[in-house]
Structure 1
Amino acid sequence: MARLPVGLFRVGLGPVFGRRLLLLHHQGRSTGLDRTVALEVVAYDREGGSWTLASGFGPKAAWYQNLRRTPKTTVQVGNRHYAVTAHFLREGEGAEVMVRYAAGHPGTARRLCSFMGFEADGSVESYRRAGHDIPFVRLDAEPGQPLP
């Protein structure tokens, strides 16, 4: 079930996810093979040309470690592909991203925190604390690409 969105992207149904999910292409750090994973976008900045992701499995997630090794890659949003460079947010930046995300998606934010073992009572401060420990990655599009 977890791989279903990848299949939908591959058969041209990426637009069904809007800007909520993207398909991240990354290179295996050990094998060098191309890998893909569908991830939820926690923040999208059209003007700045970036998508921000949270690693729900922490810094040990394969895609996160692969981006650490090879930060230049591509993403698919809808049916369009974008060249991007990964930038890893500092704890304070991640905390503020989490607070903004929780304001827009309170249920999903609560579930993410619970899944990762953080106590989230719905307060801004609880989301800020969780955001300090959740690894966030901002994917910046290469200049000159028209964004959705």
Structure 2
Amino acid sequence: MKPIVRTLFKAPGKLYDRDLGWVLGKRFLCLTHFGRKSGRRYRTVLEVIGLRPETDEVLAIAGLGPSSDWYRNIQAAPAAEVAIGRRKFVPAHRILGESEAAAALAGYERRNRLLRPVLHPVLSKLVGWRYDGSDAARHRMVRQLPIVAFRPRGATESDQESD
């Protein structure tokens, strides 16, 4: 990866490292989680693909699929913290079902129409096939790349079911 691209990808993490994540608004979140084997504390910056004020949820996609370390780690042990904008909370999480995830991805694409020329090729590279933005492709994608909803722990009575 070229140095300038690497720097751009690492920039959100550097901002969170300096307690400046609020500069990113609600476009990225910083997930603090624990290694499933090491127990070590990790921080991973994820792009927010959706906000759901009605359920107080923040949505992120596992861009490297279910083998993403952060995704596997939160399956093994609850995450310690989510920071987004100026807000921090101890999260509970749930994995969206296929229909709900496809609708969330469609909403993300609608809100980010100007990114479509870059978004579709990037998503195609992540999944290994040509993503065209159709409903069928969206459903196929979310079967490969899970979408996770984070909300403050204790926000709903079903938190225990999602952990």
State if a TM-score over 0.5 links the two structures: yes
**Counterpart amino acid of residue 31 in structure 2:** L
| Local SS of the residue matching 2:100 | helix
| Local SS of the residue matching 2:138 | helix
- Larger-Rg structure: 2
> Residue in 1 aligned with 2:160?
none
Q: CA deviation at 1:72?
A: 4.2
For residues 77 and 61 of structure 1, what CA distance do their matches in structure 2 show?
A: 20
| 1:38-57 correspondence runs (5 A) | 38-57=45-64
Q: CA deviation at 1:140?
A: 1.5
> Residue in 2 aligned with 1:28?
35
> Residue in 1 aligned with 2:143?
132
Moved over 4 A (4+): none
Q: CA deviation at 1:134?
A: 1.6
Q: After alignment, is 49-58 or 114-123 more displaced?
A: 114-123
Q: Is contact 1:97-1:131 (8 Å) kept? A: no
Is residue 121 of structure 1 aligned with residue 132 of structure 2? Answer: yes
For residues 102 and 109 of structure 1, what CA distance do their matches in structure 2 show?
A: 8
Is residue 81 of structure 1 aligned with residue 88 of structure 2? Answer: yes
Q: Is contact 1:89-1:135 (8 Å) kept? A: yes
Q: CA deviation at 1:129?
A: 2.8
Q: After alignment, is 36-45 or 2-11 more displaced?
A: 2-11
For residues 118 and 16 of structure 1, what CA distance do their matches in structure 2 show?
A: 34
Q: After alignment, is 38-47 or 112-121 more displaced?
A: 112-121
Q: CA RMSD in A?
A: 1.9
Is residue 6 of structure 1 aligned with residue 13 of structure 2? Answer: yes
Q: Which runs of 5+ in 2 are unaligned?
A: 1-6, 156-163
Residues 47-83 of structure 1: CA deviation (Å, up to 9, x unaligned): 2111111011000000000011113431111233111
Q: Is contact 1:98-1:128 (8 Å) kept? A: no
What fraction of aligned residue pairs are identical, expressed as a percent?
Answer: 28
Higher strand share: 1
Q: After alignment, is 105-114 or 50-59 more displaced?
A: 105-114
> Residue in 2 aligned with 1:103?
110
Higher helix share: 2
For residues 118 and 102 of structure 1, what CA distance do their matches in structure 2 show?
A: 18
Q: Is contact 2:66-2:144 (8 Å) kept? A: no
For residues 91 and 123 of structure 1, what CA distance do their matches in structure 2 show?
A: 15
